[in-house]
């Protein structure tokens, strides 16, 4: 069982990932999860709205999601991007089914309506946020689809306990789905070769993060900066939850999933766990 997340940053052509997915899904159960961040920003701007990125006290960056932003999010994540991926998989003879984590209550959590954030350097309290964190994943629907030969293509948002759409982080969704399935591997693809020590230097790839080493995680977190911090945290959590193989890798190469599984990119592991069998 494999969970693959394709990031939604600019500069990613999904074709190579979809080709690889079409091949891999013949012999393995795969849940495919995607983001749509760049398309979302592009669309918000076309609609005359400036995307509002806010930073929490802990330094994590997220999108402030009022009701109108959620409308666009549903349109772009669960509509345009999700269905274009489904279409492209169907064109590759893969019987894909596109879903948001709302559908069939796949992922649920508590809505956090109030966001304490730092915006333009100033602390602020923002109300009316449709966001939250995932507290449970129900694999029933995904299992049903996998059992019958469908490839689930999943994207945020998730569902609050009050039945509202809530914006959740796509990497965390991938992590929680991988955990719920006790997946063998979690591959997170984006528009970099992995985690870079210096974001402007593609050669500065961090080849490994040792989750059991405070020093290794600390320097990864420093390298990560704003948006990537959540990704590194999700990856560390995945290793600690027992996911055997967790890799951040490049979506912009041929066979990106197979390469990641072979160790290209940033591999997260725990030397503590490996020590047992050595």
State the residues that interact with a second copy by CB under 8 A. 43, 46-48, 71-72, 74-80, 82-84, 86-88, 90-93, 95-100, 102-105, 140-141, 144, 148, 150, 157, 159, 162-165
SS3 83: helix
Between 101 and 238, whose beta carbon lies closer to a second copy? 101
Taking Cα atoms as reference points, which of 266, 260, 201 lies closest to residue 232?
266
Between 46 and 127, whose beta carbon lies closer to a second copy? 46
Between 151 and 209, whose beta carbon lies closer to a second copy? 151
The tokens of 239 are what?
A: 């290793």
What are the distances in angstroms from CA 145 to CA 106, 156, 174? 12, 18, 17
Between 61 and 150, whose beta carbon lies closer to a second copy? 150
- In angstroms, what is the minimal distance from the CB of 220 to a second copy? 35
Between 90 and 133, whose beta carbon lies closer to a second copy? 90
* 253, 16 contact by CB (below 8 A): yes
Strands 185-190 and 245-250: parallel
The tokens of 56 are what?
A: 């929490």
Between 77 and 248, whose beta carbon lies closer to a second copy? 77
- In angstroms, what is the minimal distance from the CB of 249 to a second copy? 27
Q: What are residue 68's DSSP bridge partners?
A: none
SS3 31: strand
d(Cα 145, Cα 95) in Å, to the nearest integer? 10
d(Cα 205, Cα 49) in Å, to the nearest integer? 35
* 265, 257 contact by CB (below 8 A): no
- In angstroms, what is the minimal distance from the CB of 100 to a second copy? 6
Between 88 and 223, whose beta carbon lies closer to a second copy? 88
φ, ψ of residue 254 to 5 degrees: the values are -70, 145
Exposed, middle or buried by CB within 10 Å (0-12, 13-18, 19+), for 49? middle
* 188, 171 contact by CB (below 8 A): yes
């Amino acid at each position: 069982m494999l969970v693959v997340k394709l990031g939604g940053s600019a500069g990613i052509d999904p074709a190579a990932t979809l080709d690889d997915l079409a091949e891999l899904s013949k012999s393995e159960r795969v849940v495919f999860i995607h983001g749509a961040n760049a398309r979302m920003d592009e669309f918000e701007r076309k609609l005359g709205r400036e995307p509002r990125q806010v930073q929490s006290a802990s330094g994590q960056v997220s999108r402030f999601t009022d009701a109108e932003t959620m409308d666009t999010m549903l349109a772009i994540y669960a509509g345009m991007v999700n269905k274009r991926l489904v279409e492209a998989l169907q064109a590759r003879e893969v019987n894909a089914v596109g879903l948001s984590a709302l559908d069939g209550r796949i992922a649920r959590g508590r809505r956090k309506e109030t966001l304490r954030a730092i915006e333009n350097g100033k602390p602020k309290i923002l109300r009316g946020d449709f966001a939250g964190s995932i507290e449970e994943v129900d694999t029933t629907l995904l299992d049903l689809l996998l059992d019958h030969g469908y490839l689930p293509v999943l994207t945020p948002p998730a569902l609050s306990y009050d039945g509202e759409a809530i914006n959740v982080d796509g990497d965390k969704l991938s992590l929680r789905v991988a955990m719920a399935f006790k997946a063998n591997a979690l591959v997170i693809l984006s528009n970099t070769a992995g985690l870079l020590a210096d974001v402007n230097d593609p050669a500065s790839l961090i080849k490994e993060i040792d989750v059991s080493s405070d020093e290794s995680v600390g320097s990864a977190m420093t390298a990560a900066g704003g948006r990537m911090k959540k990704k590194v945290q999700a990856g560390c959590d995945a290793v600690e939850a027992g996911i055997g193989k967790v890799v951040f890798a490049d979506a912009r190469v041929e066979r990106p999933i197979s390469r990641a599984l072979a160790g290209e990119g940033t591999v997260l592991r725990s030397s503590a766990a490996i020590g047992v069998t050595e």
